[in-house]
Structure 1
Amino acid sequence: MNRITIVGAGFAALTAVQKLRAADPTVKITLVAPAPEFSYLPGTIWIPSGRRQPEDLKIDLNNFFRRMQVHYHQGSATGLEDGGRRLLTDRGEIENDGLIICSGGRFIKKLPGIEYAITPCEGIPAAIRIRDRLREMTSGSIAVGFAGNPKEPSAMRGGPMFEFLFGIDQQLRQEGRRDRFKLVFFTPAPEPGKRLGPKAVQGLLREMKRRDIETHLGHKMKQFTDTQVITEGGAFDADLILFMPGMTGNQWFDNTELPRSEGGLIKADAQCRVEGMERVYVAGDSGSYPGPDWMPKQAHMADLQAEAAAANLLTELKGGQPDKTFKVELFCIVDSQTRGSLVARTTHHNIALPQLRLFHWMKRLFEWWYLRQYR
């Protein structure tokens, strides 16, 4: 019986579990994560307004593990030995015949004063902090922005920041107090959302102008304080700062021989195989993959990579040559509480459709459909 270990409990990890179990009912699957739960991060954009409660987005995975016959190992990865055949954790060692790393990325928090900013994609607790701060504030300036990893173009996550920006604007309007707040969007990039495609950039900027959201674009970040955002192009006041820094690899990678990209992620090929290692794969934010510079770090992409990783690992365990690749496609709905705009990008097409109520409800329906498989 082949033993496969999966590190992580996010989108890529759970998709890998499903694909492995569907393809091979006999394989022994061990999943390593600090807690047996899944946080649906796309839904955190609705926590500040109260459209979602934290408990709506946190799924207990014990039932899913039982259905999928997964052995859950509570702990955090700390290292690798024997070419990946032994995973070290803070609660013991796990031997495997195949390994899939799905432990996500780590935000680069080197900017002076970054402790004054809230990083929304750090999870449900961050969204709760945003909700509580908005409730406390009676007026002021709110700054929302993101940056990237200059050594890893794909290691950024700007989409959720547009959603928090437009969502907060809409929330304040619905509460009848938007006129008491100034909203500012900032990023070192001169064209925010360029990875979504040129049509999306134009649409995002038009939407900001329509909503009377100020912009501060194209200036390198220098520092945050408790009351300001400071860039090389000047400073502006901010009573609440939401900021998404670029991403790099997990700290536990440093205790391994995993090959790393210049930006700190695990180097993988088009089949999601970790370069130079046998039966070791990576899926989702942990990896650096060949592909276009707009390849997204998002849940949909993680699912596609996990599907390829699972299929290729099983092929390799059977003595075959892994040949399954993953599609590179970006698909998202940029939501604003009541409406959403649809953005899709592939190697051949780029679509950006305007804000419609239909897309908002499509996003909510997808959340229900996606989460029901784990409940």
Structure 2
Amino acid sequence: MKKVLVLGGGFAGVEAAIYLRKNEMDVTLVSDRDYFYIYPTSIWIPTGDVTREDVSVPLYDLARAHEFKLIIDPITRIEAAEKRVSLESGRVLDSYDYIVVAIGQGKIQMEGMKEHTLSICGAPEEATALYERLDALVQRGFGKIAMGFGGNSNDSSAVRGGPAFEVLFNVHNYLKKKGVRDTFELSFFAPMEKPGQKMGEKALVMMDKMFGMTNISKKVGSKITAFEADGISFEDGTKLESDLT
């Protein structure tokens, strides 16, 4: 029986482990966290409709149900040619016929991004932090909130803009329910001229209508130069003020 090491406990990693087990391979999955996080439904965490626990499935339960082995230990080094993987604990895994790398991709880090932004597509803890920050602003009774997404000039496919639209409209509705929408400024930002263009021209027209109907301002078409404590600076010299980005 072939032995396969799957690196990553997200959608790609778990799906690979399940598929390979169905094909009667000896599978071990390595993840840095002990739960499978359902990112698509995490868009409801910032507004308090669900919690992080609601959108998480214990990896041990999945491993038991689909009969693959599980190691919870962050990966520190991958040596592909040698089929060797080193873990944070010091453990070395090197007795596998194949390695499946399914650890996802990171973001291009910009000035101030780590310090002054939160992402629904980042670590699961960030979604909870978004809820806490938003709740604090609601308790204050007013504020400026900016949400958006960027891209990668070296790979135009490496863009996940949908969640930004979803969370922004969710926040709009959340503020309406709380009776404070009129005291908040909501803004959408993106460096490209036509964010969401992959959805088609009709979708872009509809998106603009929705922004108008919900009184959400838009700042697009200029590269982001820095994220700051009080907003976002752009290459054209403008700044979008924000209490929460």
TM-score under structure 2 normalisation?
A: 0.92
The answer for the alignment partner of 2:201 in structure 1 is: 198
Q: Give the alignment of 1:194-343 within 5 angstroms.
A: 194-233=197-236, 234-241=238-245
In structure 2, distance between residues paired with 1:228 and 1:77: 34
Cα displacement (A) at 1:77: 2.2
Cα displacement (A) at 1:38: 0.6
- The answer to whether the 8 Å contact 2:172/2:214 transfers is yes
In structure 1, distance between residues paired with 2:65 and 2:11: 17
The answer for the alignment partner of 2:105 in structure 1 is: 105
Residue by residue over 1:18-51, the C-alpha shift from the partner in whole angstroms, topping out at 9 and shown as x without a partner, is 2112222xx2101111222111111111112221
In structure 2, distance between residues paired with 1:11 and 1:82: 22
- The answer to whether the 8 Å contact 2:110/2:226 transfers is no
Cα displacement (A) at 1:226: 1.1
- The answer to whether the 8 Å contact 1:112/1:222 transfers is no
In structure 1, distance between residues paired with 2:127 and 2:72: 25
Counterpart of 1:139 (choices 124, 137, 142) is: 142
3-state DSSP class of the match of 1:105?
Answer: coil
3-state DSSP class of the match of 2:211?
Answer: helix
- The answer to whether the 8 Å contact 2:110/2:227 transfers is no
- The answer to whether the 8 Å contact 1:79/1:87 transfers is yes
The answer for the alignment partner of 2:160 in structure 1 is: 157
- Relative to structure 1, the CA distance from residue 127 to residue 81 in structure 2 (aligned partners, 3 Å threshold; closer, same or farther) is closer
* Structure 1 residue runs without a partner (length 5+): 242-375
The answer for the alignment partner of 1:93 in structure 2 is: 92
In structure 2, distance between residues paired with 1:88 and 1:113: 29
In structure 1, distance between residues paired with 2:190 and 2:74: 33
The answer for the alignment partner of 2:125 in structure 1 is: 125
The answer for the alignment partner of 2:44 in structure 1 is: 46
In structure 2, distance between residues paired with 1:76 and 1:196: 36
Cα displacement (A) at 1:82: 6.2
Alignment RMSD (CA, Å) = 1.5
Cα displacement (A) at 1:200: 1.9
Cα displacement (A) at 1:84: 4.8
In structure 2, distance between residues paired with 1:132 and 1:34: 24
TM-score under structure 1 normalisation?
A: 0.61
In structure 2, distance between residues paired with 1:103 and 1:113: 21
- The answer to whether the 8 Å contact 2:172/2:181 transfers is yes
The answer for the alignment partner of 1:313 in structure 2 is: none
Cα displacement (A) at 1:55: 1.2
One-letter amino acid matched to 2:19 = K
In structure 1, distance between residues paired with 2:26 and 2:39: 28
The answer for the alignment partner of 1:179 in structure 2 is: 182
Deviates more, 1:112-121 or 1:137-146: 112-121
Identical-pair percentage: 30
- The answer to whether the 8 Å contact 1:144/1:161 transfers is yes
- Relative to structure 1, the CA distance from residue 193 to residue 82 in structure 2 (aligned partners, 3 Å threshold; closer, same or farther) is closer
3-state DSSP class of the match of 2:65?
Answer: helix
In structure 2, distance between residues paired with 1:191 and 1:181: 25
The answer for the alignment partner of 1:77 in structure 2 is: 75
- The answer to whether the 8 Å contact 1:44/1:123 transfers is no
In structure 2, distance between residues paired with 1:111 and 1:177: 32
One-letter amino acid matched to 1:124 = P
3-state DSSP class of the match of 1:88?
Answer: strand
Cα displacement (A) at 1:196: 2.2
One-letter amino acid matched to 2:160 = R
In structure 1, distance between residues paired with 2:135 and 2:80: 52
Cα displacement (A) at 1:53: 1.7
Cα displacement (A) at 1:167: 0.7
- The answer to whether the 8 Å contact 2:4/2:96 transfers is yes
The answer for the alignment partner of 2:13 in structure 1 is: 13
